[in-house]
Structure 1
């Protein structure tokens, strides 16, 4: 074999050896990498990775709205409830509902939530639903509310008194009452005599088949009782005092609303935009204060203010 052939053979052998070394090196690196992937992390490394992952999740996840709402609803406030000569402190939450508040009041006063009326300045809770929150009513910590309503025992005694009074009537008197009920108020002699003199010149505008909010006062009407002749009268509604004032030229009667047992009302025949309204303080007809030419659009509001009717 000549020198050129020897050189070529040696070069080929050298290249093969180098290729074998490179292949073995790559196999070694691959094995090392695989072993490293399977090797468990140290406790410190594991904690660091977990902490980093948690931080990312906390940054990317918004705070729970329900959690925020729950926190807000727990804002504590204390409300002062004035009832007659007593004052009660009631602790509740700013986002508690009117129903929640009335249930607490019931436990303290024994007044049925259905007949409770709470007055705050000139705002009456009759205009709100049980789902209305205290915040919606602008009630805050320290707010004072006036409570109007009769206890269950007072309601029972009133019902018993009325039943007892009706039980003493004879059959003839019952027949008389039934006949009177069929006859319109404006046709009865007692009322027809007053209506005959006509509407007062300063009477307010009356609207039939409409209900409007209660004004602070009503003027331009007549008033009478069973044994008195008519007088010009003004009604003033003092909701913050739970009173209705009956003003005449001579006197002013201040009547507690919870003393009024019933409100009788009926449109005047031929003038249905006006009504006759009776404020009944006792169980007899003599206790009724009759008001004539009341604008009919305010009758429902008068009943709501005095009797807490819906």
Structure 2
């Protein structure tokens, strides 16, 4: 859209934005005003050599445009789906179900329901990871590391690199938990471990997240 505007040359770029706002409804903060480059807000039009009859280009968005871009139509559906996933117990979600349906590992460690114990001196073993392979957890406190061992390899993770630890009792086997170690910024980085004896859950979280005083 083209507008013919009369405006004093001794006005600043900031004042010009206010004028454009009154004509177009574009908020000043959402305007890009260009004349041989971006027009500085603190300089006058005379200083940047604007002359009578000059063409000044304005690019901008209204608040509604911005909201429309940031709120796609299916965002509400995505939110509803995320909410639904939150309500559904983790152990019923498909990715976890396929591991849990294998049943309890034959060498799973015994659990003590309703108890809280310190970590044992030996590695925690007899658990599955998300691909259904056997996994053991070794807490190397003197090195401040968690070792996650599988048949193929052992990952040595500094405790400080683990962002969070989440867990949930396994439905129908509440004396065991499924647990995830968050290794990156998002949930996609969760390393899942299944069939963790319930009495060690708090000790694992406290050890990894550094809450020594609870021991």
Task: Please report the TM-score for the alignment, with normalisation by the length of structure 1.
Answer: 0.43
Q: Deviation at 1:168?
A: 9.6
Q: Deviation at 1:202?
A: 0.6
Measured in 1, the distance between the counterparts of 2:117 and 2:177 equals 14
Q: Deviation at 1:294?
A: 0.4
Q: Deviation at 1:219?
A: 0.5
Instruction: Work out which of the residue numbers 186, 203, 206 in structure 2 matches 1:301.
Output: 203
| 1:199 equivalenced with 2:78 (yes/no) | no
Measured in 1, the distance between the counterparts of 2:177 and 2:188 equals 20
In structure 2, the CA distance between the partners of 1:184 and 1:274, relative to structure 1 (3 Å rule), is: same
Partner of 1:248: 150
| 1:215 equivalenced with 2:120 (yes/no) | yes
CA offsets 1:17-49 (integer angstroms, 9 cap, x no match): xxxxxxxxxxxxxxxxxxxxxxxxxxxxxxxxx
Please give the secondary structure, in 2, of the residue aligned with 1:214. coil
CA contact (8 A) 1:207 1:274 kept: no
Report 1 or 2 for greater relative contact order, CA contacts < 8 Å, sequence distance ≥ 6.
Answer: 2
Partner of 1:157: none
Instruction: Work out which of the residue numbers 163, 179, 184 in structure 2 matches 1:277.
Output: 179
Partner of 2:79: 174
In structure 2, the CA distance between the partners of 1:279 and 1:168, relative to structure 1 (3 Å rule), is: farther
Structure 2 gaps, min length 5? 1-69
Judging by fraction of residues, say which structure has more helix. Answer: 1
Instruction: Work out which of the residue numbers 135, 141, 147 in structure 2 matches 1:239.
Output: 141
Measured in 2, the distance between the counterparts of 1:266 and 1:280 equals 14
The alignment's C-alpha RMSD in Å is 1.9
Q: Deviation at 1:265?
A: 0.3
Please give the secondary structure, in 2, of the residue aligned with 1:304. helix
Measured in 1, the distance between the counterparts of 2:95 and 2:71 equals 24
Q: Deviation at 1:177?
A: 2.1
Please give the secondary structure, in 1, of the residue aligned with 2:84. helix
Q: Deviation at 1:175?
A: 2.3
